[in-house]
Chains A and B, each alone.
Chain A
Amino acid sequence: MLPSIANLSLAIGLVVSGALLSNWSSITPGVGDLLLNAVQSEDYPLIQGIFLCITLAVLAANLLADLVYLWLDPRTRTEVAP
C-alpha cells in the first residue's frame, strides 16, 4: 500500500497533464483550452498564471499525499526520505 501512495504522489503531475490533453482532444472546455488559446494568442501573463495555478494545485496534492504517507507509516516520521 505504501509504494502505491508514493507512486500516487508522483502520478498526480502526470494525471494533470493527461487531463489537459483530454481537454484539447475533446470538446470539453477547461484549463487546457484556456492554456492553448493563451499560447496561440501569446498572452504571456495568462500562460504564467495558469501554470502557477496548476503547479500550486499539483504541489498541494503532493503535500497531501506526503502527509497521508506519514500518517500511514510511522517509520518515515524521523528519517530523511530517499
Chain B
Amino acid sequence: MKSLRLPRSPKVVLGLVILGFFVLLMIFGPYLAPYSPDNTSFAPLLTPSAHHWFGTTSLGQDIFSQTLVGARATMVVALVAGVVATMLSIIVGVSAGYIGGYADDGPFVDVHVFLALPGLPLLIVIDSYLPVNSRSNSLIIGFVIALTGWAWGARYCGRRRCRCATETFVESSRIIGEKRLSDHCSPRSRPSPAILASSFLFTILYSIGAYVTLAYIGLTSTSVWNWGTMLFWAQANNAPLSGEWYWFVPPGILHCVGPAPAWLF
C-alpha cells in the first residue's frame, strides 16, 4: 500500500477537506435539511435570514433545504458516472494493448472520435431518447454521462501502452521477426493507481458539470431535487434578472467547488 500514501502538501489537505465536506453533504445532507424542499408554506422570495439561511424561492420553498437535499442526487450521479466511466476507460484503454498490433490505431480510433466529439450535445441527444420516467433515475443518468465521458481516461490508460510499443526492446524483437509483440507490452501497460485515481476524479468533475447542465436545461426530471434543477427553476423565474441572487448562487458555487479536489490532488 506504499503507492497509496498521500503527500502532506497543503493542496492535498485542502482537497481532502473539500472532498470530505461533499461526501458528508451527500450522506447527511437530506437529514440536516430543516424543512422539506417541496414545502411551499413560507413567504415567497425572502432574503437570507436566520430562519431561511439562503432565503426562499418564488413559490416559498426553503433554498437551504433544497441545496442540502439536492447534494445527494448530484453526488450519486457523479459517483456512478465516475465508476462506470473509469471501468470503460480501463477496458478500452488496456484491451487496445492486447488486441492492437504494433501500431494500435484500431481501438484508438474510437477513443479519438469520442474525444473529439462535443460531449454535451451527444449527452442531450442520448438523453432525449430516454423514456421520461427514467430521467429521474440517478443510475441511468450516471450511466449515460459515463458513455460520453470515458474517452479521456482511456486515452491515459492507452498512452502507456503506446509508449511501450515504441521502446527499444520491442523494436528489436520486431526486427528479429517476433509476431506477438503484445506479449511484451501487455504486462507493462497496466494503468497505475495514480492514473486510475486521476481519471476517476476527473470523470467525477466532468459528471457533476454534465449532470447539473442537463438538469439546468430541464432534461432530467424536475421533481428530483439537485443543484441543476434549482438553477433551472431560478432561470425559469428570471431570478438572475430580478436580482434574487440567493436563489442561484448557492447551487452554482457548490457545483463549482465540488470538483475542486480533482484539481488540487
Contacts and interface: CB of A to CB of B under 8 A. Distances in A.
The answer to whether A binds B is yes
Interface of A: 9-10, 12-14, 16-17, 20-21, 24-25, 35-36, 39-40, 42, 44, 47-48, 50-51, 54-55, 58-59, 62, 80, 82
A51 B217 CA distance: 17
Contacts of B235: 25
B17 to A, nearest CB: 29
B128 A47 contact: yes
Given A36-B217, A80-B103, A80-B105, A42 B118 contact: no
9 contacts: A10-B116, A13-B118, A21-B120, A42-B128, A51-B122, A51-B125, A54-B121, A55-B121, A82-B162
Nearest to A18: B120
Interface in B157-176: 159, 162-163
A47 B213 contact: no
A50 B121 contact: yes
> Range of interface residues on chain B?
20 to 34
A31 to B, nearest CB: 9
A24 B217 contact: yes
A13 B116 contact: yes
A51 B163 CA distance: 34
Contact of B159 (A21, A42, A82): A82
A44 B127 CA distance: 12
Contacts of A40: 218
Nearest to A15: B118
Interface in B106-130: 115-122, 124-125, 127-129
Contact of A35 (B117, B124, B216): B124
Contacts, number: 62
B11 to A, nearest CB: 23
Given A24-B217, A25-B235, A47 B116 contact: no
Contacts of B124: 35-36, 39, 47
A47 B218 CA distance: 16
Contacts of A54: 118, 121
B175 to A, nearest CB: 17
A16 B163 CA distance: 31
Nearest to B102: A80
Nearest to A43: B128
Contacts of A35: 121, 124
Interface in B182-216: 213, 216
Nearest to A54: B121
A62 B113 CA distance: 10
